[in-house]
Structure formats: C-alpha cells, structure tokens
Chain A
Amino acid sequence: MAQIKTLGMYEVFTRGGECTRSTHYCAGCGHGIVHKLITEALAELGMQDETIILNPVGCSVFGYYYWDVGNISAAHGRSPSAATGLARTLKNKSIICYQGDGDLGAIGLNSTIQAASRGERMAVLFINNANYGMTGGQMAPTTLGGMRTLTSPFGRDPLTDGYPLHVCEVMNQLTAPVYIERVSVADTTRIMKAKQAIRKALRMQRDNIGYAFVEIITPCPTGIKATALETARFCMEEMEAEFPLGCFRDNSALPQPEPQPKTAVSVQELFERPEHDYEIIAPRVDPDFKERRMKFSGYGGQGVLSLGLWLSEAARIDRRFTTWYPSYGPEQRGGAASCAVVISGSAVGSPDADRPDLLVAMNQMAYERFIGNVLPGGVAFVDETAPLKVSPPPGVKVVTVPAIRMAVDFGVAQAANTIMLAAISLHGALNLSRESILCAVGASFKRKPELAQKNKELFVKAEAWIKAQA
C-alpha cells in the first residue's frame, strides 16, 4: 500500500525521542484534529517556509512534534508578547499563536487583549475545552457554571468562582482585530467550518492583512471525564449554549490601514552631526585645577537644573572634566529641585556634592536645607527673597543676589538663573572663561535663537548691575 504523506506535518514524529506515526494525545481529544486542520491549511496555502508557530504550555506543548514549520515554545500566557517580538522584527512572516484557555483566558488575557488592540500581525487559535486538561482537569476561565473540576469540586459557582469568560465577545470590543470567529471541532460538519476559519486566519497572515482570532471549542474527554461521544455531545449542547458559534467580525476582504513609513538616517548621521558651532575636545588633565563641587537648588521652574547644565557645558568647552546630577522623580515635577555639578582637572569620582564649595539657593527652603553642608572657604549665592534665618557655617561667605527681582524688571521672569550665572561668573571662583559660559547659554537655546540673545543680553546687564553695586 502506498504511503500518503500529510503535507505540513512531519511524516514520522521523531522529536519525542521515539520514532512514531501516532500523536501523544488521548483518544477523542480535539488537538489532533486542530493540528491537522492547521497543517492542511499551511500546505494548501504554501506557507510552511514562512510560518512560525508559538507552542503553548499544556498538552499541545509538544505541537512541534508534528508541525513542520519553525517552532518556538512560549511561557504560559506569553505567546502574544513573544509573537509580538517576532512580528516586530521579521517582515512578512506568518505567525501563529496556539493557546489554551488558561494560557489565553487567564494568565495571558492582558497580553492577548493588548496584542489584539495593537493589531499585531498574527493568527491566534484559541483552544477552548472548558478545563485545564494537561494538569489533570482543573477549573478554567471557560469552565461552565455548575461544572465539577478538581478545583471546583462542588461545581463552579459563578457567584464565587466567576462566570465563564466569553473571549470572542471581549475581543469584539476592540478596534484593531480584522477577523474574529468561534468554531468547534466536535463533529464533521463543525470540523469543515473550523477548517475554513483556520484557513482564513492563516491566509490573512500570508497576505499580511492583520490580526485574526479563532476560538475553537475542542473536546477533552480525559479532562471532562466522559467518553469521546459524551464529550462531543457536551461540546455541541452545553458549551455551545454558553459559547454560541459564529463569526463576530470579518473585515478580511476590506483594505486595512498601514502605518506610514518614516524616513530614517544612519546611526552615525543621527549622533555624529555637529550639535553646536563649537567643537568639544577631550578634557585635559590639569593637576593645578582645584576640583569644584557645586549645588544648585530652588523650586522646579526656577531654572536651577539649567544653571548647572550651563556650567557643565562651559567646563566642557574649557576642557575640564565635569558631571551633572539632578534630583529626579516627583521632585523634578514641582516643588524642590536641585542638581550637583562637579568640575575637575582630572576624571571625576563621585558626581554628588554632599559637601559643596559653591551653593546656589533660589529660595529659603533650598538655603536652609543645604547651607550647613557648604565647606569652609565656600560661597553661597542666595536670592534676596530668602530670609537668612540660619547662619552659614564658619568660613562660608553668603552673597545675596536680587536675581528674581532683576529678572522681573528685565521683563524675563523665568531668567533669574541667568542673573545668578552672571553673579557666579563675576565672582570668579570657578575659573571658567566668560566666553565659554556665554557660549554654553547660547547653545542651550539652540532651537530658540531669540531667547539665546535675550539671555545673553540679560547676562551682560546683570554683570553691569553687580559691578555697580560693588
């Protein structure tokens, strides 16, 4: 007698360690039927080379014994995510998630919905057999009300165990899925319909049409603890009463929207084009340069983070080593903000400034929080609005600057940080060149040239004002 090879399926199943032509499924189980429907569709559509199947956890964990395509095992509930990883990195491939009711309806429901909502290019085949078959027959999200399982020994009580989950109906609330249908493989007529549904879902992948979801009511005599015939009756009568068969949506013949392709540059083009009209070259080791640790603090919105960044940038232009470290998280979004800047003549160790030698405090809270940490010989620039109720440590000089008032007078209320910068620059403690500081301010407003000009003018005016006061 001539051997007839089943296309799409291995001829002999060797991956289980034995050379066999029979599957590992129980008599009367629906998995074998669904496997065959998949492989027939794959072969008829000529998709074997381009197809990847995500094998689930459960009895069909060994689907790869049979499917003659690229096979991947996914963790319980994670097939939609793993399939997304494939779909986003491989173009024009056909990806199939084969999942059970625990995998898809319980542990992986969120990822199932999210992948569907993103319209991932994949066909999801959902095996609904109303119980957890492989682990011995426990309750599933799809277990019917009153049904006894190992974990609902008195029958599933919807009031305490929840109602059976109607996944197709849930999926039908989403915008992106193109095709949603519930079928059954409990008898020959139903199998023929199931074949059409699976074939459509797979063809959609071959033709890159979009997300397809097919729920398949599948007999599990072992889990239901009934004969094959009784299980088929259970599927057709009791399960279909809860989960009616039918097509929920089929837009597969309609044109589907495609995301607009974006123009791309090379990595080198993206990062290596010059940022500014000056060039930063590697810092030089200068043992004579005294390392400076600075703290800039105030309210969020007072520009203390920018003030620190300007000085770091000026230090880079002057070929110093520098780091900038901000307070981060909720603080940055209002309330107190601060940053630490280190400028050094050699590679910077700690980027923190727990003992700064220069402090800028734009308000009372900042002053009181940090003034005690300033090292002897250090200097604190404090906005005049901060009452100096706390004495500075011995040897620490406090310079009050009317930064906020001057900024308001100059008509740029948010530029108090520029006034502070001028004060620091004039003080000379940092050993940074005035040109570099102005250059850094200009660079930070690269996209707003009028603001760059305004801040530079403000800087010069502030210098003149401070000099006049001295």
Chain B
Amino acid sequence: MMKFLKGNEAVVVGALYAGSEVYFGYPITPASEIAHAAAEWYPAVGRAFLQAECETAAISMLYGAACAGKPAITATSGPGMSLMQEGLSYMAAAELPGVIVNIMRSGPGLGNIFPEQSDYNQAVKGGGHGNYKCLVFAPGSVQEMCDLTIKAFELSFKYRTPAIILADGLLGQMMESITLPVNTYQPPDVSDWAVQGTAETRGNLITSIFMNAEIQEQRNLHLKAKYESMRKDVLSECYCCDDADIILAAYGISSRISRSAVDLLRAEGFKAGMFRPITLSPFPSEQLCSVILNRKVLVVEHSDSQFCDDLRMHIAKQGQRYQELALIFHMGGVMITVEELIARVKKELGS
C-alpha cells in the first residue's frame, strides 16, 4: 500500500506502526507537521497526544513515559533541540529508550527556518552534559523517515538509550511516495527495569545519581561498553561506488543532491559514486574506509565542516593513512545545487 506523504508525516506513520503509545511535543517550524499529524493520528488509534508547554517539558514527559517502559516520541528543530539536551543526558544516564526527531533548520541562535545540517555535532557527540552518546539515524527519503523511525524504536529499546532521527527542513517538508510498513514492532518485556506502579515493578528504581566516584566511573564504563556494542547495528549505503574515481560522502538531504550529481556525471562519463552513512552514531567507519581507500573524496554537507571533521576522525581511528578530503558546503538555508556540485567534482577530477 502506497501513500504520498511529507517526510514529517511519515515519521508519525512509522511511530504508530512501531507501537508508539504517546507523542509529546511543542510546535516549531520546520517540524510542526509532525505535531499536526500526531495530534490527529495518535487519538484516532486510541493513543495519547499532548502538546507540552516547552521542549524542556516535552523531553521530560518522554523521560516519564520511558520510565514506564512505554514507546514515546517527540519532535522539534534546532532551538527546541537545544532545550532538550538536559533530558537527553538524563535519559542516556538512566538508560531509557525513546525517539527524538530533529528537523534541522539554520542556526545558531534563532537563525532561520530553512534546511541546514548544523546540529550534527550536537546529535552525534552527546549534546548534553556528561559522557554519553545517542543512537543517531539520518534518513535520506520520506520512506526512510518512516522506516528509520521504526528502526529507532527497535534499537532504542534494544540498547535502552535514546535515539535521534536527524533530518532537515527539506526532508521534513518534501512529499514522496512511501510503501506502508508490513510488520509492526513489538516492544520487549520491560518489567525487569521499568517502573509501572505494579507489584512486579515496585522494587525497581530509575535514577542517574551515583555519589560514589568509583561507582559513577563503573557506570560510565558500562555505558561506554554499551555504545561500543552498538557498532554491529551500523547502516550505510554505497551508490555507484564499485568503479568510482571519486566518492561523494553525504548524508540526509545532501545525499539526495549528491545522487542527482552522480547520475548526471555518470551520463557524461565521469565515474562518481556516493557513500551515505544511514546511522551517524554508531558510525559505519569500516564501510567508509573500505569505500574511500585510494580514491578521491568530496564531502558534501550543509554545515561548517562538522561532518567532514568527523569523517577525518573516523578514518584516523580506523588506522587508515591520512587522506585529503575535499569539502563543499553551504549554510544558512542556501542549498548546494546539483550544477555547482557537478562543477566541483569535475574540478576535483582535474577536468
């Protein structure tokens, strides 16, 4: 069954098929259609929707629902995401599942409402206080806005850690055909840790305070080991990479623009390919390194080298020799055009 939906609406479809029981959120452009769709569809299927008084409250409501082991979701954009960092840190520390959608807009500060990818570091490096990481998914289509929301719930419960859907204004606002999910996700039994107001869960405690330094360090090491174990769930896509002379590295909307450029370059006889990480945390480092080995790389992003710098770190951590990465970027809501990207690739290829 196919539907023609906005990326923002597809998130809600995915959430409902994933068994999400509640949506909490505060409207913000360009994420508001997620709240609009949730306000209509959650009650329609007998589930809860609540407009919070602010993003700090929304993420805290998510925390509360997660304490009960209930699949909950919220959505926002940059300024709201900044307010949610406190709650994300607490959820990661208390090992609570939940899905947070960031439809990125231009920043810093109020910025504007046009697409950017400038919350990359905030999402993949923790963002709030303390040593923690979230699962971060970067959809590249309306279909993936739906499918990765389901995946985010699945892995968020598997690892008991918050999951972020990191998209942008363009992916949120655009419409595209999607195939509705066939399978629904069933959250696992959570009675061993959740607090649900039952005899069975009466002895459970959810907290993140450890006043003993050694115990706190053990806790941090436990989280670190957990984040390492998430590596087996990395996702990535290679497009036309096999014989490529140059690899465009891009995620989200930048990967869509790159895909058009690869197609047009190939039509002209230039061997271009694209590597697209689908999970940004954990990052598909090995996949990246094997694809770019002995090839030119052009990083395509809508932020100030945040993604490019992270690629450099991942390559270095894999022990791969230093490799020059070329970068093309725009910010402020200015989109990289296919035309300028093609021109840049040709320049990198020396023609």
Interface residues of A (CB under 8 A from B): 15, 17, 48-52, 55, 61, 64, 68-75, 78, 80-90, 93-95, 110-111, 114, 262, 264-267, 270-272, 275, 280-283, 309, 312-313, 316, 321-326, 328-329, 346-352, 354-355
Give the contact stretch, choosing among B224-232, B252-260, B279-287, B291-299. B252-260
For A86, give the chain B residue with the smallest CB separation.
B64
Having A93-B196, A110-B57, A313-B4, one finds 20 other A-B pairs with CB under 8 Å, namely: A49-B197, A55-B207, A71-B207, A73-B207, A81-B56, A81-B60, A81-B61, A81-B63, A83-B64, A85-B60, A85-B66, A86-B68, A111-B53, A270-B45, A271-B16, A271-B180, A316-B4, A328-B30, A349-B257, A355-B339
> Is A111's CB under 8 angstroms from B205's CB?
no
> Is A85's CB under 8 angstroms from B63's CB?
yes
The complex places the Cα of A281 from the Cα of B50 at a distance, in Å, of: 35
> Is A111's CB under 8 angstroms from B260's CB?
no
B304 proximal to A (CB < 8 A): no
> Is A49's CB under 8 angstroms from B199's CB?
yes
> Is B202's CB under 8 angstroms from A111's CB?
no
Can you list 27 residue pairs at the A/B interface with Cβ under 8 Å? A49-B197, A49-B202, A52-B197, A61-B209, A69-B202, A70-B196, A72-B207, A73-B207, A74-B63, A81-B56, A85-B68, A86-B197, A265-B45, A267-B45, A270-B16, A283-B177, A312-B175, A313-B4, A324-B174, A325-B170, A328-B30, A328-B113, A328-B169, A328-B173, A349-B256, A350-B259, A352-B335
The complex places the Cα of A151 from the Cα of B259 at a distance, in Å, of: 59
Distance from B71 Cβ to chain A, minimum over Cβ atoms (Å): 9
> Is A323's CB under 8 angstroms from B207's CB?
no
How would residues 16 to 34 of chain B score, 1 for a CB under 8 Å from any chain A CB and 0 otherwise?
1100011010000110000
Residues in B151-201 with C-beta less than 8 Å from chain A: 169-170, 173-177, 179-180, 184, 195-199, 201
Known contacts A89-B21, A282-B179, A323-B174; decide if A75 and B335 are in contact (CB<8 Å): no
For B57, give the chain A residue with the smallest CB separation.
A81
Residues of A within 8 A of B176 (CB): 322-324, 348, 351
Residues of A within 8 A of B41 (CB): 270
> Is A89's CB under 8 angstroms from B60's CB?
no
Residues of A within 8 A of B170 (CB): 325, 351-352
> Is A82's CB under 8 angstroms from B61's CB?
yes
Distance from B228 Cβ to chain A, minimum over Cβ atoms (Å): 26
Residue from the list A69, A78, A323, A351 in contact with B60, Cβ < 8 A: A78
For B254, give the chain A residue with the smallest CB separation.
A350
B48 proximal to A (CB < 8 A): yes
> Is A64's CB under 8 angstroms from B177's CB?
no
B120 proximal to A (CB < 8 A): no
Main secondary structure of the interface of A (DSSP, over half): mixed
The complex places the Cα of A309 from the Cα of B175 at a distance, in Å, of: 9
Distance from B187 Cβ to chain A, minimum over Cβ atoms (Å): 12
Residues of A within 8 A of B16 (CB): 267, 270-271
Distance from B98 Cβ to chain A, minimum over Cβ atoms (Å): 10
Residues of A within 8 A of B195 (CB): 52, 70-72, 86
> Is A70's CB under 8 angstroms from B197's CB?
yes
Main secondary structure of the interface of B (DSSP, over half): mixed
B244 proximal to A (CB < 8 A): no
The complex places the Cα of A468 from the Cα of B230 at a distance, in Å, of: 67
Known contacts A52-B197, A71-B206, A81-B64; decide if A88 and B259 are in contact (CB<8 Å): no
For B259, give the chain A residue with the smallest CB separation.
A349
Known contacts A328-B29, A329-B30; decide if A48 and B53 are in contact (CB<8 Å): no
The complex places the Cα of A87 from the Cα of B66 at a distance, in Å, of: 12
> Is B173's CB under 8 angstroms from A111's CB?
no
Residues of B within 8 A of A114 (CB): 53, 57
Distance from A345 Cβ to chain B, minimum over Cβ atoms (Å): 11
A87, A93, A267, A323 pick with most chain B CB within 10 angstroms: A267
For B46, give the chain A residue with the smallest CB separation.
A264
> Is B206's CB under 8 angstroms from A75's CB?
no
> Is A264's CB under 8 angstroms from B173's CB?
no
The complex places the Cα of A61 from the Cα of B63 at a distance, in Å, of: 17
The complex places the Cα of A85 from the Cα of B90 at a distance, in Å, of: 15
Residues of A within 8 A of B257 (CB): 349-350, 352
Residue from the list B21, B64, B202, B260 in contact with A68, Cβ < 8 A: B202
Residues in B35-59 with C-beta less than 8 Å from chain A: 41, 43-48, 50, 52-54, 56-58
> Is B256's CB under 8 angstroms from A350's CB?
yes
> Is A349's CB under 8 angstroms from B206's CB?
no
> Is A84's CB under 8 angstroms from B61's CB?
yes
